[in-house]
Amino acid sequence: MKLKNTLGVAIGSLIAATSVSALAQGQGAVEVEAFGKHYFTDSSRDVQRDGELYGAGISYFLTEDVSLGLSYGEYHDLTSQDPVGAGGHKNIKGSLTSLDATYHFGQPGVGLRPYVSAGAAHQSIGQADRGGRDSSTFANVGTGVKYYFTENFFAKASVDGMYNIDANEGEWMAGLGVGMNFGGSTRQVAQVEPTPEPAPAPIVDTEPEPEPELVRVELDVKFDFDKAQVREESYSDIKNLADFMQQYPQTSTTVEGHTDSVGTDQYNQRLSERRAQAVRDVLVNQYGVESQRVDSVGYGESRPVADNSTEEGRQINRRVEAEVEAQVR
């Protein structure tokens, strides 16, 4: 019961931590989680097919999609299958330490992210019919789904298959967990005081009303090679576009992502979509432009504006573009 109470405190702490300022998901992020799993043992050991594994883990994101994680859990409610001596069924204690690589599908951010995993584990567990502990090495495969309620807080459901290499037997677990994601690219944007609008000139009744004038704001954001993170120096340009759209609420725009020609067409198409989505997220989530007024699209490497055979040309082609027009009098 002590471990269950500790787990409850950990879960409560994770939920309370959602009030902390959000840090972006992505490469370099760290996830911590608490979990509980139902453990189905193999039949050759003198253990009932009933038990729970409670524990916690920590993962580091090598890329936006791939993480490497270490977890530790302790078994509870495991008993011997047959009575042991006059004491009846014996309570069996044990622990499981796992190292797993996980690939996440979908885009980082709020919403659903399925995943698959593979790795290895070390199990130390008591023996029902004789003293001491039994140690085994497992090969793990798993699948599951995470739902991110915010950029930081998520819940997960999982199914894990475990192959006991030493005993040549298979086992499996099914579980639930909650966790926190933090420590990705921290965004620190300087607060710029808005320039006050000049007072409008008085209108003289004897003068004709001026003809409408078309004004335009264009955006050109550059990206590092094979990256979809918005550079720090690009935030001021994105803010200018957001301020213009806030001033003219009838406007809308489409954010267009592009890549250079390095890599496959399929990979570059996905990379261009991620770049466009990253700029859209800054406009909507950071600068308050309504989401229905901003679309995003990726064109991959299909629309170069410079020579992809040179480094200078490829740098120019790694971009996101957008423009907004409005008629003013």
Residue 207 confidence (pLDDT): 64
Mean pLDDT of 83-92: 59
Q: pLDDT confidence of 81, banded at 50, 70, 90?
A: low
Judge if 220 and 171 occupy the same domain. Answer: no
Residue 247 lies in a domain: yes
Average pLDDT rounded to a whole number, residues 240-268? 92
CATH code, domain with 303 = 3.30.1330.60
Say which residue, 139 or 195, is predicted with more confidence. 139
- pLDDT digits over 17-51, tens only? 444 444 456 788 899 999 999 887 765 566 665 67
State how far the alpha carbon of 160 is from the alpha carbons of 38, 77, 98, 157, in Å: 10, 19, 11, 10
| Measured CA distances, 240 to 52, 218, 245, 280 (Å) | 55, 9, 9, 14
Q: Is the per-residue pLDDT at 195 higher than 60?
A: yes
Q: How far apart are CA 236 and CA 187, in angstroms?
A: 13
Q: Model's pTM, two decimal places?
A: 0.49
pLDDT digits (tens, 9 = 90+) for 103-132: 999 888 888 999 999 999 998 877 655 556
Mark which of 132, 161, 182 sits at the end of a domain: 182
What SS3 class is residue 34? Answer: strand
Residue 326 has a CB neighbour count (10 Å cut-off) of: 17
Q: What are phi and psi of 131, to 5 degrees?
A: -70, 175
State how many domains the chain has. Answer: 2
| Whether residues 259 and 142 fall in one domain | no
Residues 133 and 248 grouped into a single domain: no
**Which residue range is the domain that position 97 belongs to?**
2-182
